[in-house]
Amino acid sequence: MRVRQAERVSADEGEQDLGALYLRYGDTMHKVAASVLREAGLSSQAADAVQDTMLSIIASPPSNVRNWEAFLVRAVKRKALDRIKSAHNRHTSNAPIDPTADVADGVDVAEDVSADLDLKQRAAVAWDSLSVLDDRDRRVVWDVVALQRPGIEVAREHSLSPGRISQIVDRALGELRHEMERREGSNEQRQ
């Protein structure tokens, strides 16, 4: 009962001091925004989503908020999702395309296409090579290398030390490199 009364008091005080709420929950809001935006490749916009959220709340303060942390997390998540939708709409708009806009003098389109195909082939080989790793090592490498998550977070999730995570990543990347070279070598021999 005392906890609920304390939450109500702090909620009432929070309505009067949004700056204190930001100081208290700003890091949490930033983490939520970054996690939502990360999947869309927009994690650099997390601070902007937090700022938009706070400005929106300042412009139109809510009333009767029982749990400010939950309210702010939900609000920043919505702002982050709005940013993703906005970015998607900008990239898929029906604006007329100027065929000369991105063409520079002396650019060899054939080389660009060839380089893109080579990159896609190497990505396919890398994907196929992941089968040499066990499930845990594959998840660790994906989290640390592809998602660029801090090793300490990944270590906590797997009940390992950060040093052990580094060892797993180093060993797994070596195995992947070796397997990719083997597969690429066998592909070249077939051609």
Residue 49, CB-side half-sphere exposure with 13 Å CA sphere: 33
The per-residue pLDDT for 112 is 61
Considering the domain architecture, whether residues 54 and 135 belong to the same structural domain is answered as no
The per-residue pLDDT for 164 is 93
The per-residue pLDDT for 177 is 86
The per-residue pLDDT for 167 is 93
Which two structure tokens, joined as six digits, stand for 34? 């970054």
The per-residue pLDDT for 181 is 85
Using alpha carbons, list the distances in angstroms from residue 111 to 77, 102, 108, 115, 117.
42, 16, 5, 6, 10
The per-residue pLDDT for 156 is 93
Number of domains in the chain: 2
Last residue of a domain, one of 91, 119, 147: 91
Query: Could you tell me the residue range of the domain that residue 158 belongs to?
Result: 110-184
176 Cβ contact list (under 8 Å, min separation 6): 126, 129, 130, 132, 133, 141
The per-residue pLDDT for 155 is 92
Rounded to whole angstroms, how far apart are CA atoms 41 and 136? 25
> Residue ranges of the chain with pLDDT lower than 50?
1-15, 97, 99-107
Place of tokens 């940013």: 83
Considering the domain architecture, whether residues 85 and 122 belong to the same structural domain is answered as no
Considering the domain architecture, whether residues 75 and 141 belong to the same structural domain is answered as no
Considering the domain architecture, whether residues 86 and 18 belong to the same structural domain is answered as yes
Does residue 53 contact residue 76 with C-beta atoms inside 8 Å? Answer: yes
Last residue of a domain, one of 91, 125, 149: 91
| pTM for this model (two decimals) | 0.41
Q: What is the per-residue pLDDT across 34-79, written as a single tens digit (0 to 9) for each?
A: 888 887 788 788 888 888 888 888 888 887 888 888 888 888 888 8
Considering the domain architecture, whether residues 73 and 117 belong to the same structural domain is answered as no
Considering the domain architecture, whether residues 64 and 129 belong to the same structural domain is answered as no
Residue 183, CB-side half-sphere exposure with 13 Å CA sphere: 18
